[in-house]
Amino acid sequence: MHPIIFILGASALPLAQKLKAEFGFEIHGPEGVSGCDVTYLKAADHLASSFALRRAILGLCASGILIRALAKHISDKHNEPAVIAVAEDGSSVIPLLGGHHGANHLAKRIADFTKGHAAITTASEVRFGASLDEPKPGYVLGNPQDMKSATAALLNGASLAILDEAESPIELQNVKIEKWSPTFDGITIEVTEKNVKGGPRHLVYHPLTLAVGLGCERGTDPQEVRTLIKETLTAKNISRRSIVTYASIDVKEDEPAITDQYKVVYFTAEELNAQSAKLHTPSEIVCAEVGTPSVAEASALAAAGPDAELIVPKAKSKRATIAIAKAPKPIDTPAGRARGEVSVVGIGPGTSFMRSPYATHLLTMATEWVGYGLYLDLVADMNWGQTEHRFPLGDEEARCRHAIELAKQGKNVALVCSGDAAIYAMAALVYELIDREPNRIAINVCPGISAFQAASAKAGAMIGHDFCCISLSDLLTPWEAIEKRIKAAAEGDFVISFYNPRSLKRRDQLERAFAILKNHRPPNTPVVIASNLGRPEENVRIRKFSEFDPNEVDMLTLVMVGSSQSKSITRGDGKTYAYTPRGYAKKMDSK
């Protein structure tokens, strides 16, 4: 749920801080209110984005504010997060959305803490203390479409019976419980791993007790594995809803036929060897190949826990194997290690509204954030409790190596970069490191709005025609190579974006670059000087080439020099803009 405490002003801060101390939730408040973990500019926009990320919202404000802000975003009650309105004095706690998905339970916890009243309005909660579609941990309702009919019958006085004297998956109050018999005409509950069809008066709960072990030859078509899983489950009449996880050996972490499956965990050969006594079909051939006599059977047993037993021994297709193990009780946390993943995330210039939805998704899904401290500060609004690994400016290799090492432990890592992750950023270095030291972690690269794009847009349309980017830093590239590129770009008449134009130690490269360009650009060529893009201190100005002063440039500045065709104009508002014609005017003039 990753709850946030949403406040509108300082008056709600005392209760917000108490709730944070008790429950560990973040405080989100407006700019100017000190003591908040995350600040926002517009309340409605921030509520909408938090809701879209499926973060539970504790609004310390009037319920009407939450309703009006979220009304147009409500579409699917089965997937919406909890939304709770809390009076600033804690006297009233009102679950507005997601009552059966944690809101009612959380509202009761908050009310117990504040000594207030939880205004629970869902009929089943009021009458029975729980909802039929919110069973105990370790169970899932297989036919939720029939929940309303069954609830209505119980509200009208129907009795309840559990088949086979199984452990009840749900605790209800004020319901008459009877022993099942063939003549029983009330509501029945069945607890089973079987693929049983329920009905309006027959609810089927599936215990989360199964683990599926997978094996395959290198390069197996993923569809073959999916087909084998489907056919095996159908043949054994087993419900997918009872499957907690899929599992395999760690040498298959980068095998698409395995990684395509849902929630796969991995084990070393040594860990799988510990299951040897329980195996049904050990193989010397498999042992010679991967160091353990079984992959599918041993993986299923290892994932399901020490008391698990095989209920489906190894089944085979042409190139894949599958086995299923069952634990005697619902599995809380499957053993094994997930496949680690590094997402190299470009966050753009820094502001949330210039961040892509894909970047937002990857930041939210990650459990570890790695990056330069300033970059992590720029995405603080996405932090729901991720572990931050902060690095000072520089030492990029240490950042990338740290992210890779975390992923090798099975963690989901976001390596945070400003601008675009593949433009003078960490993506290339990550691939260089895994090229030198191969491993099986997953790599994602998320593009972002780069500084040259933002600068061009802020100034007008400078990259309307051919352009290039050149870094003036000679820390990793010899100046002779940089100089050669500047000359080629000058002669080619490209719009040129200069990254890293100056630093505390590098003071003359920019002047030397302009000396090369001087013979290829008219004096009135526009030059864009863009500093602190996307931040409160943003400053974008346009100068003529002949009037350019390098002293305006620092290490947080991008310099963009137009081509010989680039132009600048001053509009009626007094602001100057620059653009590079694409050639449409000539096309229009010829008509």
Parse the chain into domains and list their residue ranges.
4-121, 139-207, 210-337, 340-449, 458-579
The DSSP result for 266-309, as a single string, is EE-HHHHHTTGGG-SS--HHHHHHHSSS-SHHHHHHHHH-TT-E
- Joined together, the tokens standing for residue 498 give 């200069």
If one compares 133 and 571, the residue with the highest pLDDT of the two is: 571
pLDDT(32) > 80? yes
Q: What is the pLDDT of residues 507-534, one digit of tens each?
A: 789 999 999 999 999 999 999 999 988 7
Decide yes or no: CATH 3.40.30.10 for domain 340-449.
no
Segment 368-392 mean pLDDT: 90
Place of tokens 């895994």: 434
If one compares 243 and 122, the residue with the highest pLDDT of the two is: 243
Least trusted range by pLDDT, from 48-52, 504-508, 561-565:
504-508
What does the pLDDT read at residue 555? 82
What does the pLDDT read at residue 57? 94
pLDDT(325) > 60? yes
Segment 324-329 mean pLDDT: 96
For residues 521 and 509, give the distance between their C-alpha atoms in angstroms, rounded to a whole number. Answer: 18
Q: What is the pLDDT of residues 454-513, one digit of tens each?
A: 999 999 999 999 999 999 998 889 999 999 999 999 999 999 999 999 876 777 899 999
| Residue 527 near residue 543 (C-beta atoms within 8 A) | yes
| Residue 441 near residue 341 (C-beta atoms within 8 A) | yes
458-579 architecture in CATH? 2-Layer Sandwich (3.30)
Q: What is the pLDDT of residues 422-455, one digit of tens each?
A: 999 999 999 999 999 999 999 999 999 999 999 9
The CATH number that domain 4-121 falls under is 3.40.50.11220
Angle between helices 426-436 and 396-408 (to 10 degrees): 60
Q: What is the pLDDT of residues 255-274, one digit of tens each?
A: 999 998 778 999 999 999 99
**Is 527 in a helix, a strand, or coil?**
strand
If one compares 483 and 127, the residue with the highest pLDDT of the two is: 483
Q: What is the pLDDT of residues 98-111, one digit of tens each?
A: 877 788 889 999 99
What does the pLDDT read at residue 105? 85
Decide yes or no: CATH 3.30.420.180 for domain 210-337.
yes
What does the pLDDT read at residue 260? 82
What does the pLDDT read at residue 122? 74
What does the pLDDT read at residue 224? 96
Segment 532-543 mean pLDDT: 88
If one compares 85 and 120, the residue with the highest pLDDT of the two is: 85
**Quick one: which H or E segment has residue 374?**
helix 373-378
**Is 251 in a helix, a strand, or coil?**
helix
Range list of β-strands (E), 166-255: 177-178, 187-191, 202-207, 210-216, 243-249
